[in-house]
């Protein structure tokens, strides 16, 4: 038997080159927690997810030449409490804004969420996500794309249930966050 050594340890956790906090926001029940759990844990389980209630997950995003250690913050049921939520944004270097493609009411609240993100984080990169792509759609691709174009956001449609495009959300925003960190730390 061989005892574990420090080099085993390093092998298990690849070195990251950057680290950042990122928030996931949007109306209640659009699938924010489901997307985070799908990405970080690799499964979709509605019953378990509703009871998690943790504040954040840590996940390394491997971009080949760089690795971003993301601290992904979930609102954990705080969607309704505007003033309390301000603290949640402190230090965030990126945001995922989620709406539910199968429910137009969440789409109609996007400018409210965009205002809140911008007010609390400034010009951090944001990716807009139309979730629940596996269901019958109420909000077409063009509608999401138009909001993204107007506000200069990245845009993707995904499904936490099937896993479609979920990794792509994070591999799309990660290089933008790295670029944002490098740019803002140089200018200080
Ligand atoms: N069909 C489908 N249901 C989803 C998807 N993502 C989340 N849900 C369901 O939508 C409900 C709300 O999801 P949840 O992750 O708790 O939303 P949150 O309030 O934004 O965190 C749950 O019943 C989920 O199982 C998806 O991509 N497809
Ligand atoms: Mg949630």
What is the SS3 assignment for 86?
Answer: helix
Q: Which ligand 1 atom is the nearest neighbour of the CA of 162?
A: 27
The least confident of 44-53, 120-129, 161-170 is: 44-53
Does pTM surpass 0.85?
yes
Q: Which ligand 1 atom is the nearest neighbour of the CA of 74?
A: 21
Domains, the chain, with CATH or none: 2-186 (3.40.50.300)
Where b means 16+ CB within 10 Å and e means fewer, 121-147 reads beebbbbbbbbbbeeebebeeebbeeb
> Rounded CA gap, 178 and 142, in Å?
28
More confident residue, 84 or 9: 84
> What average pLDDT score do residues 37-66 get?
81
Decide if pLDDT at 162 tops 70: yes
What is the SS3 assignment for 96?
Answer: strand
Handedness of CA 8, 66, 185, 180 (dihedral sign): negative
Ligand number nearest to the C-alpha of 158: 1
**Band of the pLDDT at 53, cuts 50, 70, 90?**
low
């Amino acid at each position: 038997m061989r005892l574990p050594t420090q080099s085993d340890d390093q092998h298990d956790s690849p070195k990251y080159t950057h680290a950042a906090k990122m928030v996931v926001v949007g109306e209640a029940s659009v699938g924010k927690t489901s997307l985070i759990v799908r990405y970080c844990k690799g499964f979709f389980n509605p019953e378990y997810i509703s009871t998690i209630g943790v504040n954040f997950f840590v996940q390394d995003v491997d971009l080949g030449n760089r690795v971003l250690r993301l601290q992904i913050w979930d609102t954990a049921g705080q969607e309704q409490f505007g003033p309390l939520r301000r603290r949640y944004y402190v230090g965030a270097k990126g945001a995922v804004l989620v709406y539910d493609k199968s429910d137009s009411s969440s789409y109609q609240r996007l400018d409210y969420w965009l205002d809140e993100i911008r007010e609390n984080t400034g010009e951090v990169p944001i990716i807009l996500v139309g979730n629940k792509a596996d269901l019958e759609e109420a909000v077409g691709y063009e509608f999401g794309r138009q909001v993204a174009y107007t506000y200069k956001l990245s845009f993707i449609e995904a499904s936490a249930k099937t896993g479609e495009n979920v990794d792509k959300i994070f591999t799309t925003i990660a290089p933008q966050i790295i670029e944002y960190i490098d740019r803002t730390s140089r200018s200080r």
